[in-house]
Amino acid sequence: MQKSIIDAKNYGKEACRLIDYSPLWQTMKHKGISQYQLINCGIEKSLLERLRRNQNITLISIERLCRILECTPNDIFTFVDDPKK
């Protein structure tokens, strides 16, 4: 049986996983969609700022981005190991 990255007993003891939104910027570039166009589609400026800072966003926001960009969550974010741990 393969060990999961984080199991319930050891949560917090394993390497911390961070969210990286660089796939979003690559997807936008590939599809020729600007931040201004996202704003015109109803994406708030504060959400874009959170994305630029790799901060947490809601699943609803991810769903909205996926619908606008016609992509999957894998095209929006990825998980990376926290180098501080």
- Answer yes or no: is 14 within a domain: no
- Cα–Cα separations (whole angstroms), residue 23 to 20, 52, 68, 79: 8, 12, 15, 11
- Averaged pLDDT of the chain: 85
- Answer yes or no: is 11 within a domain: no
Q: How many domains does the chain have?
A: 1
- Answer yes or no: is 29 within a domain: yes
pLDDT (tens digit per residue) in 31-60 = 999 999 999 999 999 999 999 999 999 999
For helices 22-31 and 59-69, what crossing angle results, to 10°?
A: 20
Domain of residue 38 covers: 24-81
**pTM score:** 0.75
Identify the CATH number of the domain in which residue 70 sits: 1.10.260
Name residue, tokens 């201004």.
Answer: 36
pLDDT (tens digit per residue) in 5-40 = 545 455 554 556 689 999 999 999 999 999 999 999
Kind and range of the H or E run holding 74: none
- Answer yes or no: is 17 within a domain: no
